Amino acid sequence: MELDKGLISGSMALLVMKLLEDQDLYGYQMIEELRRRSDDTFHLRAGTLYPLLHGLEEKGSVTAYEQTAENGKNRRYYHLTKQGRGVLAEKEAAWNTYARAVGQVLKGGACLAGA
């Protein structure tokens, strides 16, 4: 199912930071990992990802460092900072509240429709 782009664009920072919660990744790995975790639902464009990552870096939510990857090529790895973890926790809480509220409204709508 193709998702509405507007629906996911607002939460893209949340998803990217969530990917970095457990391990440092470089851009290409993030896109692959997001696709894998979402069962091919989220296909993030690299052209969207890098400005987003650089913006998060500016805000101090992530830091980046160059390292030679295991394939011998140099890659820029991103790391979620302590500040970023705090932002992630806030965003996750806000998202859960939002998702619960939407679910309740949808559930209520279904009840009314059935009545």
Partner 1 sequence: MQEHETIQSYLETIQEQIRWKRARPVLAQELERHLEDQRDAFIKEGRTPKEAERLAIGDMGDPLEVGAELDRVHRPRPQWGLLGLTLALSCAGAILRVSLTAGWSFEAIRLPNTILSLVFGSACLLGMYFLDISRLARHAGKFYLLILLFMVSSWFWSPAPYGIPYYTRYLALCGPTVYVFCLYSLRQKGWIGLFLAILGGFALTAIPYMAPYANATVSMLLIGFVLLLCAVRMDWFGISHKNAVTFGLILAAVSGSAYILHIAPIWDRLNIALHPELDPLTRGFHGVQIRKILESARWLGTAPLDIGNRGLAGFLPEASNDMLPTTIIYTLGWLPYLLLLAALTALLVWLLVRGLKQTHQLGRLAVVAVSLTLGFQLLFSVVLNSGIVLSSAHLPLVVGNLHTMLDMALIGLALSVFRGSSIAREEAVTPIRRIKRIRLQIEYQ
Instruction: By CB under 8 A, name the binding residues for partner 1.
Output: 27-28, 45-48, 50-51, 54-55, 57-58, 60, 63-68, 73-76
Nearest distance, CB of residue 10 and partner 1, angstroms:
16
Cβ distance to partner 1 smaller for residue 55 or 108? 55
The number of C-alpha atoms within 13 Å of 99 and in the hemisphere containing its C-beta is 9
Cβ distance to partner 1 smaller for residue 15 or 78? 78
> Which one-letter amino acid corresponds to residue 54?
H
Nearest distance, CB of residue 114 and partner 1, angstroms:
43
Cβ distance to partner 1 smaller for residue 73 or 113? 73
Nearest distance, CB of residue 6 and partner 1, angstroms:
16
